[in-house]
Amino acid sequence: MTTSDLHIFTESEIKSYKENGYLLPVKNLLSDDKQTLLTELFEEHLANRGGKKSDELDTPHFSDQRLLDILLAPEVLDAVEDIIGPNIGLFSSHFISKEPGKGRRTPWHEDSAYWEGKFDELDKIVTIWLAIDNSTKENGCMGVVPGTHNNGFSEYEGVQDKENSTFTTEIKKGTFDLDDVVWFELKKGQYSMHDARIIHGANANTSSTRRCGYTMRYFSLDMKFNQESAPNHKLYHARGENVASNPLVYYKGA
């Protein structure tokens, strides 16, 4: 797990990410074999989810090390390095599946608002959203509000439709214009990247097709994680130097 001298993105793409808070590469992240494996692992976790909802398969890599071979793959970390630099930790991952006709909405939010106190700063956390199914407006693809990663924390209020929402709170209505939203329509295997501070959300899936994505979250090891905020949470070393002396798990691979 060494740093790469190769750049995945152009200077203009990296500049766009910094200015807008997101990037849509419009290409596949993984090889066909790895994408197939990821899909198979998701189907396995979905089938064995017990009482969890299909959008609640959080940190599956804690119990399934096969996912670490994908999360820590060089082609994934090369993309992350272009965005947050060479010192990389794996923060979390999450299978989020919206079932046909009943997939819950994801209220408008900033990830950073839920992570306040977990890190000493929040400006170098990036999420890869990797499509396991085709993701469209009809089946509830994610959308972001460009540039809002520089606004600080928004004000929140309770959601009215708790049964059909993945969170109980959401950003207050009127905070932003829905016409400004950029919707991430992705084909299976394609991916997006977004800053933890950007306003984003997703509508409910009212279509006849499933919409599943795998979120892969990384942070710069220049940042310090507050272990007391989440005593049982495992952070994995991905690449580079552990500058802030974070409590890391060093995975050697299968």
pLDDT for the residue numbered 110: 95
- CA-CA distance, 86 to 124, in Å (whole number)? 11
DSSP letter assigned to residue 132: S
143-165 pLDDT, tens digit per residue, is 999 999 999 899 999 998 888 88
Domain count, the chain: 1
User: What domain range is 229 assigned to?
Assistant: 11-249
Does some domain include residue 77?
yes
Residue 112 resides in a domain: yes
Q: What stretches of 60-142 show up as alpha helix (H) in DSSP? A: 68-71, 74-84, 111-114
- Using CA atoms, how far apart are residues 165 and 159, in angstroms rounded to an integer? 8
Q: Tell me: the pLDDT tens digits for 1-58?
A: 445 556 899 999 999 999 999 999 999 999 999 999 999 999 999 999 999 999 999 9
Residue 220 belongs to a domain: yes
In a domain? residue 1: no
Q: What is the pLDDT of residue 31?
A: 96
In a domain, 4, yes or no: no
Q: What is the CATH number of the domain that holds 28?
A: 2.60.120.620
Averaged confidence pLDDT in the chain: 94
What CA–CA distance (Å, rounded) separates 132 from 110?
23
pLDDT at position 4 is: 52
> Within a domain: residue 167?
yes
Integer distance in angstroms from the first to the last C-alpha of the chain?
14
Q: Per-residue pLDDT tens for 81-135?
A: 999 999 999 999 999 999 999 889 999 999 999 898 999 999 999 999 999 999 9
Whether residue 34 is contained in a domain is answered as: yes
6 domain residue, yes or no: no
235-239 vs 248-249, strand pairing mode: parallel
194: nearest Cα among 246, 136, 129, 133: 129
Give the per-residue pLDDT at 163: 83
